[in-house]
Amino acid sequence: MPTAAVVSASAAAAPAAAAAAPPPIPSKGLRLRLQEGVYASFSADGQLAVEASPHDGEGLAGFAQRLCGDARLAPQVLEANHLARGARLKTGRLYHLPFDLLAAAWQLEAARALFPQDRGDATGWRHQVRGVGALRRENLWELSEWFTGKGENFRAIREYNNLRDEDVTQGAVLTIPSELLRPAFGAALPVPLKPYVLAYGKDQDGDYAVYRLRPGEALYSGVVVRFTGRIYAADVNALAVEIAHRSGIDDVTAIPVGFKVKIPLDLLQPEFLPEGDPRRKEYEASLRASSHFSNQVRAKGLEGITVILDAGHGGHDSGATLGSVWESLYVYDIALRLKGLLESRTAAAVELTTRDGDGFHVVDADVLPASRGHAVLTNPPYPIADPVVGVNLRWYLANSFFRRALSAANDPQKIVFLSIHADSLHPSLRGAMAYIPAARMRDESYGKRGAIYEARQEFRESPRVEFPWSQRVQSEGLSRQLAKQVIGAFEESGLPVHPFTPVRDRIIRNRSEWVPAVLRYNSVPSKMLLEVCNLNNDLDRRLLQTRGYRQRVAEAVLQGLLAYYGQSASQPAVRVARATK
Ligand SMILES: [Zn+2]
């Protein structure tokens, strides 16, 4: 039990300042004016909402943008008001906006109006129970829905406040712990939420870190994925068992809030190790060294920039597959869409490492037809049969593109390499993540041998690659900056992003760690491998099978590239590009 719970329990027992406390909400409900045409409402059945009428001349999209913070929620606004698709809103009429649909600012304002005694403090949101009518009290379930978005959190709130049952007395003050709050209330706390705190200890089995499980957290994502960096299902499951055993947990599905989970120190990602630990120091030193390098090139409309696009897999290498969903088909489609955007909206030169068939055709369909026609565009091309040969020829080809672009541009920072993939991870994980090359995990010098390589011009131009340490460190720094811009653009466009460390400098799997070959032997200083989503996650997989999502991914990558070259989204590339072309 957290210490704070005791404090709030005693506060709950003390009568609140009676003079200032508002009367119970009438049992028929309550409507309070927030501003002209906008009301906070508390319905007879205990739902919080806002009711609002459109401004003169304000359409549905504008209305949804103003109240929900997103014009794309327009269909949900219609649905909440039992209106058919395409219906028009009438000025002067009030429309119902359920709490879940509201923009954070309106959620906060409505709650503050209805519960004027409420406030945030360092531990969470302090809610004074106002009660409803003469007969009914607020119950913990609905209270939990209002402030956390999930009724199921009522148990954690009950435990946190040392309550014996779901009864809450009028005038009592409860704390809704900060970790559980909806973003609207979390953002209103005076102290920003501490991300997490680890303590360290030692027992007969060795050194460990202790993490106290927070309400609503699962061992898999809350502990294993976050602190050990494992993301593949087999790894996550195995470590969850190991950590549960080490911590004395019998049932991983019923771990009490606040339980001390012990994580063996050697499983921790370096950034979570105690200060001064050699592994953490080495990690911090590499971050510091690579952070000295940042892209200095500013390019309006990407004028003078070469973008090398690599769609992962292809041909007989379908990559991650889930039923008929092949990674190779969907990432190639995204690469084509991105090529189209770059060529129509910017002045960048675009090179693709592979092609399916004779031309670059975007298939106008959600679910993509199977194809094994992809070849690596070396000279002569390589119809992809062996995945390893396919990957090696990609970096030979990328390096050849790089040499050619460099002789024209005369600045290595004007060239970027982007490999597009989709992951197959633990099903609880969602969203995009990026890999960049860790300087310490790349070879100084490397080259392939064999007839299949020697037959190709790109190999013969330069059979071996050499990467001195300084170059690898610089590449890590530039690539991290590039990847952060691209992931940042995903976040800005509302696309799902991996919850922990979305930019990673190596793959961790099966107790080994490596940099993907397509980055490892790649001469382009600014490079990244983008995993657009997790095919093992049902929601992500369904999204990937829609044209709209793939187009949005391509748009986000475009915004990330523009940002890397010093152009924010507010300076549209369109006009610039047309002016310069
Ligand atoms: Zn892949």
Q: Report CA(423)–ligand 1 centroid distance (Å).
A: 6
Give mean pLDDT, residues 387-399.
98
> For all residues of the chain together, what is the average pLDDT?
88
pLDDT at 222 over 80: yes
Given this model, what pLDDT does residue 569 score? 55
Given this model, what pLDDT does residue 253 score? 80
Q: Report CA(516)–ligand 1 centroid distance (Å).
A: 10
pLDDT digits (tens, 9 = 90+) for 425-456: 999 899 999 999 999 999 999 999 999 999 99
Full-model pTM: 0.69
pLDDT digits (tens, 9 = 90+) for 32-56: 999 999 999 998 888 899 999 999 9
Tell me which long-range contacts 280-286 makes (C-beta under 8 A, separation of at least 24): 282/440, 286/438, 286/439, 286/440, 286/473, 286/476
pLDDT digits (tens, 9 = 90+) for 462-472: 999 999 999 99
Residues 190, 121 contacting (CB under 8 angstroms): yes
Higher pLDDT, 131 or 48: 48
pLDDT digits (tens, 9 = 90+) for 401-411: 999 999 998 89
Q: Mean pLDDT: which of 52-66, 153-167, 250-264 is highest?
A: 52-66
Given this model, what pLDDT does residue 577 score? 33
Give mean pLDDT, residues 371-390.
97
Given this model, what pLDDT does residue 6 score? 28
Which DSSP letter does residue 475 get? H
Given this model, what pLDDT does residue 438 score? 95
Share of the chain above pLDDT 70, in %: 92
Give mean pLDDT, residues 493-502.
90
Give mean pLDDT, residues 183-205.
79
Given this model, what pLDDT does residue 243 score? 94
pLDDT at 9 over 50: no
Closest CA to 503 of 275, 218, 519: 519
- C-alpha triplet 558, 437, 285: angle, nearest 5°: 115
pLDDT at 89 over 80: yes
Q: Report CA(429)–ligand 1 centroid distance (Å).
A: 16
Burial 322-354 (b: 16+ CB within 10 A, else e): eeebbbbbbbbbbbbbbbbbbeebbbbbbbbbb
Confidence of residue 90 (pLDDT cuts 50, 70, 90): very high
Given this model, what pLDDT does residue 191 score? 63
Q: Report CA(311)–ligand 1 centroid distance (Å).
A: 9
Share of the chain above pLDDT 90, in %: 66
Q: How far apart are CA 136 and CA 120, in angstroms?
A: 26
Q: Report CA(125)–ligand 1 centroid distance (Å).
A: 43
Higher pLDDT, 286 or 340: 340
Q: Report CA(331)–ligand 1 centroid distance (Å).
A: 9
Q: Report CA(163)–ligand 1 centroid distance (Å).
A: 50
Residues 174, 12 contacting (CB under 8 angstroms): yes
Given this model, what pLDDT does residue 171 score? 82
Q: Report CA(528)–ligand 1 centroid distance (Å).
A: 13
pLDDT at 507 over 80: yes
pLDDT digits (tens, 9 = 90+) for 298-335: 999 999 999 999 999 999 999 999 988 999 999 999 99
Q: Report CA(486)–ligand 1 centroid distance (Å).
A: 18
Q: Report CA(254)–ligand 1 centroid distance (Å).
A: 35
Given this model, what pLDDT does residue 12 score? 35
Q: Report CA(461)–ligand 1 centroid distance (Å).
A: 27
Backbone angles phi, psi at 88, to 5 degrees: -105, 145
Given this model, what pLDDT does residue 166 score? 72
Instruction: Give alpha helix (H) positions in 115-195.
Output: 140-148, 154-160, 183-186
Q: Report CA(34)–ligand 1 centroid distance (Å).
A: 51
Element (H, E) at 261: strand 260-264
Closest CA to 534 of 427, 419, 435, 434: 427
Given this model, what pLDDT does residue 574 score? 38
CA diameter of the chain: 89
- C-alpha triplet 513, 515, 518: angle, nearest 5°: 150
Confidence of residue 572 (pLDDT cuts 50, 70, 90): very low
Given this model, what pLDDT does residue 162 score? 79
Given this model, what pLDDT does residue 137 score? 66
pLDDT at 1 over 80: no
Q: Report CA(508)–ligand 1 centroid distance (Å).
A: 14
Higher pLDDT, 513 or 193: 513
Give mean pLDDT, residues 525-542.
96
Q: Which of 92-106, 145-159, 363-377, 550-564 has the lowest mean pLDDT?
A: 145-159
